[in-house]
Amino acid sequence: MENKEFEGKVVVVTGASAGLGRAIVREFARQGANLGLLARGIEGLEGAKKEVEEYGGKALAIPTDVSDPEQIEAAAEQIENELGPIDIWINNAMNSVFGPFKQLEAKDFKRVTEVTYLGQVYGTQSALKRMLPRDRGSIILVGSALAYRGIPLQSAYCGAKHGIQGFFDSLRSELFHDKSNINLSMVQLPAMNTTQFGFVKSYLPNKPQPMGRIYQPEVAAQAIAYIAKNPRRELYVGYPTVESILGDKIAPGLLDRYLGATGYDGQQTDEPKDPNRKDNLYEPLPGDHGAHGTFEANAWDFSPETWAATHKLISWGAVASLALAVGVLVGKRWS
């Protein structure tokens, strides 16, 4: 029987037209939700809306630039008027620029910050405006391992994700002070096979690529659905995320040097960049681009670490059983 955990729930997804956002839309639609879809790309929004309807849900596609708080507020109002009270708001929209900081234009850095950081702030404001009077609802901020550990060539994006992390800490403290029942969570993600790497503005000589182990966007989408059903403060997706965050706590200076030596080549393929390559920094690229990027062959569709983190009862049971078995064997050996 199909899992319908979100039957009748109203879920808003920003950046819903492509990449991870599109995978999130599919996951919540599969589980019975009605969806408010926010993004700039009209064709991608219409494609996402069609997929929701194929699952039997209702969808409202609203062209929205999340860097504009008035557009987000108008979209939130329209969703509540047409779909009903918003139960879950997922701040996913992002964009980025690849290149050494010394080469970046100030306007590009500003644009990434406005979309990737302030877009989540504005989305949270509009969600809270409606959820606080009802004293219920969930808001999920989509973060990254890069919220803790910055890497070269992505200073604007890393700075924005760091900003989201600080904002998250502050707002959660305020909600606890107010004894609010609103759930605020953050999901930290690894490198993923999404459309991002074909969309971002790049100063690099070769085509950009994810660094390290790559996961399919469905892995992250399922984790986000899990935390929406089982609220917790934070969820790390993928072992590389855990490794990066813990590694930065233990030896940040060593990582500075290591990434300085490996981070440039690690984020580029051997294929030269197309000189006519277009990006979506200021305007969406035409077409419906779906969820996946061009790294299918190297992308994992399962994360053992994430499975363990979201099945703790089973995981701890397995650990206890293993410990018991080892104890029995050791006891027999020495008896």
Active site positions, annotated: 157
Closest CA to 239 of 312, 296, 183, 189: 189
CA-based radius of gyration for the chain? 21
Three-state secondary structure of the chain = CCCCCCCCCEEEEECCCCHHHHHHHHHHHHCCCEEEEEECCHHHHHHHHHHHHHCCCCEEEEECCCCCHHHHHHHHHHHHHHCCCCCEEEECCCCCEECCHHHCCHHHHHHHHHHHHHHHHHHHHHHHHHHHHHCCCEEEEECCHHHCCCCCCCHHHHHHHHHHHHHHHHHHHHHHHCCCCCEEEEEECCEECECHHHHCEECCCEEECCCCCEECHHHHHHHHHHHHHCCCCEEECCHHHHHHHHHHHHCHHHHHHHHHHHHHHHCEEEEECCCCCCCCCCCCCCCCCCCECCCHHHEECCCHHHHHHHCHHHHHHHHHHHHHHHHHHHHHHHC
Amino acid letter, 81: N
Burial grade of 103 (CB within 10 A; 0-12, 13-18, 19 or more): exposed
Distance between CA atoms of 332 and 221, rounded to whole angstroms?
46
CB 202 within 8 A of CB 279: yes
